[in-house]
Structure 1
Amino acid sequence: MNSAASVRKLTVRHRRTTALDAVDLAFGTGVHGLLGPNGAGKTSLIRVLATVAPPTSGRVELLGGDVSAPAHRTAVRRRLGYLPQEFGYYPGFTVREFVAYVAWLKEMPRAAASAAVEGAVARVGLTDRIDAKIRTLSGGMVRRVGIAQAIVNDPDLLLLDEPTAGLDPEQRVDFRALLRELGRDATVIVSTHLVEDVAAACTEVTLIGAGRVAYRGTPHALAALGEEAGAEDFGDNPIERGYAVALRRHRSGAAPTTSGWSVTR
């Protein structure tokens, strides 16, 4: 498998805290879910892959090259989409204006940008609010604007940090369908604490615990862990129980569970 994003011995430290500890991972075409408790290192990984934060040490390759090279890093930023957990926006802009602004930042050709903006807004179900000021939108609508700006350039690598925060159940169902569509041709990495989103939309799951990989495999294989004897009290459904089993094994010092998937593939 050709990897759109890979890290080798990736270490990220914040002062005295180690957020990621010598992590090896690779991601190819499809939808990849990042799971883990708060503080596990998910956001640190997403930020490094988005090239908005440098690693403390290790190698990061995105879209065919090492992003430590400034020219390649600049090229990568035109080809990726990113929705951070804390999404900043200009409240006085309309939805159209803001998504168009991001298209301009991505250096999209002017002739194609207008249709791309309208298409991205339509994919998140906001066509009827495209000329509304962002400050007039609900929290869930603002989050959908964030998704629209992340996909306006039809990215080869899409990075989403807690994208369903603020979405209602119907909107989350629509979002999962959008993820599956995007994952046919692109590499989509979704950091979330909602295991049901992973089960419904992702082709692969990576569970991070205390800065290290605790599990790598399919949602089906993770759910199978939750069917094991003794897991009954760990959650309300098999994938939640599998999450708890994998995390507890990791905390006990066991090697990462990979279920037929190589952590460094």
Structure 2
Amino acid sequence: MTSAVSVHSVSIHGLTVRHRRTTALDAVDLSFGTGVHGLLGPNGAGKTSLIRVLATVAPPTAGRVELLGGDISAPTHRTSVRRRLGYLPQEFGYYPGFTVREFVAYMAWLKEVPRAKAPAAVERAVARVGLADRIDAKVRTLSGGMVRRAGIAQAIVNDPELLLLDEPTAGLDPEQRVDFRALLRELGRTATVIVSTHLVEDVAAACSEVTVIGGGRVAYRGTPHALAALAAEAGAEDFGDNPIERGYAVALRHHRSGLGGSAGWGAGR
């Protein structure tokens, strides 16, 4: 694994993303360092727009984004970053006739993993997601959950310094999700991992920090433990089925009410 990256491997200043007449992100300031960071928020909150900008597949409308030590508006640095990051979108393309090995190897080639190291890197990535016994199976023969795991394998084949995952546990069964959380914690020891999800239990189990996005702005930033404590502080025992779910609901309601501003609330907008 690549050695630990700088304290803030992701620094975002005034990030705005607009899609025609819709503002997906509104002057957001955020930073992320080594560890596992969860992004929570309702549909349309701006989570996927943020992940896509960080993956360098979508440009910001305004603002400055620095990844792994440089501004991604510079083409040479943007190209360098793409070799050093891993990205799993909600929907990803693949050739169904490829085997798992061929699919992950192709992605390793795109990321310029050295040819001599690529075969071992592919086998290691596939084993880490529990597909070693299906490595030579055609992707078209896999279940939806297995395809998702193959997608995770391609995202980590280059031992990324920055790993971006958009709804990575969709289609995984409970046992696979437990294994995936353990993998996230392992990766987060030396890399910056950002996970966008609707599953608050994944955030509670794997993330050291959580950011709640609402209406294109930051509604809350803090630890999962602190987020879970919000519900108790607010006396909101009917907002969800577990403490972190209730805290998430409280954070969003507080944000929507326009009362943000104290520590933890609306940090970085």
SS at match of 2:232: coil
Aligned length: 264
- AA at the equivalent of 2:193: V
How far the C-alpha of 1:165 sits from its partner, in A, is: 0.2
Aligned mates of 1:212, 1:131 — CA distance in 2: 44
Q: Deviations over 1:191-236 (max 9, x none)?
A: 0010000000000000000000000000000000122243011001
Relative distance call for 1:43 and 1:258 in structure 2 (3 A) is farther
- AA at the equivalent of 1:90: Y
Match of 1:197 in 2: 202
Match of 2:149 in 1: 144
Summarize the alignment of residues 53-68 of structure 1 with structure 2, pairs less than 5 Å apart. 53-68=58-73
Ranges in structure 1 where 5+ consecutive residues have no aligned partner: none
SS at match of 1:52: coil
Match of 1:233 in 2: 238
How far the C-alpha of 1:259 sits from its partner, in A, is: 3.7
Aligned mates of 2:241, 2:157 — CA distance in 1: 37
Identity across matched positions, percent: 85
Aligned mates of 2:93, 2:266 — CA distance in 1: 36
- AA at the equivalent of 1:136: T
How far the C-alpha of 1:87 sits from its partner, in A, is: 1.6
- AA at the equivalent of 2:147: V
SS at match of 1:184: coil
Aligned mates of 2:145, 2:163 — CA distance in 1: 20
**Aligned partner of 2:109 among 91, 99, 104:** 104
SS at match of 2:238: helix
8 Å contact from structure 2 (residues 218, 266) kept in 1: no
Does 1:122 find its partner at 2:127? yes
Aligned mates of 2:133, 2:261 — CA distance in 1: 47
8 Å contact from structure 1 (residues 214, 257) kept in 2: no
Aligned mates of 2:155, 2:40 — CA distance in 1: 21
Does 1:9 find its partner at 2:38? no
- AA at the equivalent of 2:64: R
8 Å contact from structure 1 (residues 94, 130) kept in 2: yes
- TM-score (norm. length: structure 1): 0.97
Summarize the alignment of residues 248-259 of structure 1 with structure 2, pairs less than 5 Å apart. 248-255=253-260, 258-259=263-264
Aligned mates of 1:79, 1:252 — CA distance in 2: 40
Aligned mates of 1:261, 1:179 — CA distance in 2: 26
Deviates most, 224-233 or 57-66: 224-233
SS at match of 2:148: helix
Aligned mates of 1:178, 1:2 — CA distance in 2: 21
How far the C-alpha of 1:262 sits from its partner, in A, is: 5.7
Aligned mates of 1:178, 1:258 — CA distance in 2: 31
Aligned mates of 1:147, 1:206 — CA distance in 2: 22
Aligned mates of 2:263, 2:203 — CA distance in 1: 16
8 Å contact from structure 1 (residues 215, 256) kept in 2: no
Match of 1:157 in 2: 162
Relative distance call for 1:239 and 1:256 in structure 2 (3 A) is farther
How far the C-alpha of 1:144 sits from its partner, in A, is: 0.1
Relative distance call for 1:257 and 1:31 in structure 2 (3 A) is farther
Match of 1:94 in 2: 99
Aligned mates of 1:54, 1:238 — CA distance in 2: 36
Q: Deviations over 1:100-151 (max 9, x none)?
A: 0000000111000000000000000000000000000000000000000000
Aligned mates of 1:249, 1:114 — CA distance in 2: 50
Summarize the alignment of residues 201-212 of structure 1 with structure 2, pairs less than 5 Å apart. 201-212=206-217
Match of 1:182 in 2: 187
Match of 1:36 in 2: 41
8 Å contact from structure 1 (residues 217, 261) kept in 2: no
Query: CA RMSD of the aligned region, Å?
Result: 1.4
Relative distance call for 1:258 and 1:91 in structure 2 (3 A) is farther
- TM-score (norm. length: structure 2): 0.96
